Structure 1
Amino acid sequence: MILASASPVSLLLAGAAALAYAVPALASRAIGAVSARRVLLLAWLLHGLLLGWSLLAGQPRFGFAPALSITVWLVLTVYAIESQLYPRMRARWALAGFGALAIVLALAFPGAPLHVSSSPLLPLHWALGIAAYGLFAAAVAHGWMMSRAESDMRNASQAIEGGVPLLTLERLMFRFVGAGFVLLTLTMLAGMFFGEQIYGDTYVGWRWDHKRVFTLLSWLTFAALLAGRSLFGWRGRRAVRVLYIGAALLLLGYVGSRFVLEVLLGRPA
């Protein structure tokens, strides 16, 4: 349920951003590539204002939907930068669709407010984790674009439009995986050794719950991917498949567990 306490400014920004995302998602070909890029940039700006207002205008809330919203915004930030370097970068419609969906979900499931006994280090811990999510999501987006480009190359009957070279997409994908792996490692180490300082009175000690198990499995998967790339030259479909597995496990680690708690079980945290 959308909270009745949502401010008019938040609702206005959310509606404008979702509408702006819907334009390139549904009518990218009709309005042309240049117009679609401009509208997507507008949506990204409105989305950023919405996130900033949500954090600064009242008591910050956090849950699976806000985490997805921030992650999508970070991916779009990467896309906005890369589209200046590679104007033929594809996937505008898909990213715009995810942006609109993330905003709607964040309105419907705004999460729980931060606990008053939590440490000021908690936002930093979450920022590391969300940044890792964003980098891995960007890697997944590049893996998807790489798979599309490879499929076009294999389909001799289809004319291939100029786009970002396959090797460039692959190189960018692994760079995002490497950066995300570093941040994920730091996030796990912080939670392991400084959990009491970070979570304050809400910390119940280290335990092997499903969130930590899925996160560790994802970390091992990404480590195997990077090792396979370095030692055995993994690339192409094999690398993308391993990336998808690691990303799915990571998604189950936090977003999946919070979704079960907040939506299926109806618990705020």
Structure 2
Amino acid sequence: MILASASPVGLLLGAAAALAYAVPALAARAIGGAGARRVLLLAWLLHGLLLAWNLFGGAPRFGFAPALSITVWLVLTAYVVESQLYPQLRARWALAGFGTLAIVLALVFPGGPLPPTSSPLLPLHWALGLSAYGLFAAAVAHGWLMTRAEVQMRQAAQAVEGGVPLLTLERLMFRFVAAGFVLLTLTMLAGIFFGEHLYGSSYTGWRWDHKRVFTLLSWLTFALLLIGRSQFGWRGRRAVRVLYIGAGLLLLGYAGSRFVLEVLLGRIA
């Protein structure tokens, strides 16, 4: 738990980042758009420092909550870059709320230490997987923005997503899906063909456990989405629904399985 696993520096960085995220999440109107952007950027930087400290500042630990924390940070990285190109995007309050939640979860459930017998290439393997998580999460965020903008357009309540065209949001969503699919494919292939080299003596061979089944199902779902897009012109709500299904399966593949082990069953290994 948090008191036994987190260092004072990690606790300080985590608390500062969580509080910084909470400001635009709860008081965006009070501080204004420019102020919310600056505070969100500060929170993103503190979050990055926290992740770096957890990785290099001591014995690294990993679990479902750190995985979610890294995923949220990657999504925010994509948002920080995109907001320079499309300043009309309006998702700061939601992303800031997810940032606060992810950091608190990672502090409370820091996971277990990395296997001492693992290969030095294991962090690269995990980086590929987490990058795929982040890209698909960014695609989900764009799918949500696209759905919200479509509803607003039909209700004629306000301008469509602050001026960002639906086609632009859709194009960005599919770009994230395609990039995430490539990284997920590489991650799966590395685990299949180089699992023994990556995990050393802790590797027990290929088995059809929950993690692999859900990951394979998510890969098939994303493949279906990309084929449907290219061959049958899938778009709009149909594409977003398939994206949500694939992302849900992928979330169950690692984070969900680790949540059951760490939280419900109390097993860290």
- Give me the TM-score of the superposition, normalised by structure 1: 0.98
1:15-51 Cα deviation digits (max 9, x unpaired):
1100000000001122111110110000000000000
Q: Which residue of 2 aligns with 1:75?
A: 75
Distance 2:31 2:163 in 1: 19
Q: How far does residue 5 in structure 1 lie from its aligned partner after superposition?
A: 4.1
Query: Which letter maps to 2:189?
Result: L
Q: How far does residue 2 in structure 1 lie from its aligned partner after superposition?
A: 1.2
Q: Which residue of 2 aligns with 1:192?
A: 192
Q: Which residue of 2 aligns with 1:208?
A: 208
- For residues 209-248 of structure 1, the aligned pairs below 5 Å read 209-248=209-248
4+ residue runs over 4 A deviation: none
Equivalent position SS for 2:266: coil
Distance 1:34 1:170 in 2: 26
1:130 and 2:169 are equivalent in the alignment? no
1:119-161 Cα deviation digits (max 9, x unpaired):
11111110000000000000000000000000011103x1326
CA root-mean-square deviation:
0.8
Distance 2:33 2:79 in 1: 14
1:197-252 Cα deviation digits (max 9, x unpaired):
00001000001111100000000000000000000000000000000000000000
- For residues 1-269 of structure 1, the aligned pairs below 5 Å read 1-156=1-156, 158-160=157-159, 162-269=162-269
Unaligned runs of 5+ in 2: none
Q: How far does residue 4 in structure 1 lie from its aligned partner after superposition?
A: 2.7
| Partners of 2:5 and 2:110 within 8 A in 1 | no
| Partners of 2:195 and 2:203 within 8 A in 1 | yes
Query: Does 2-11 or 21-30 show the bigger shift?
Result: 2-11
Residue identity (%): 82
- Give me the TM-score of the superposition, normalised by structure 2: 0.98
Query: Does 3-12 or 62-71 show the bigger shift?
Result: 3-12
Distance 1:235 1:61 in 2: 40
| Partners of 1:90 and 1:163 within 8 A in 2 | no
Distance 1:71 1:159 in 2: 31
| Partners of 1:119 and 1:197 within 8 A in 2 | yes
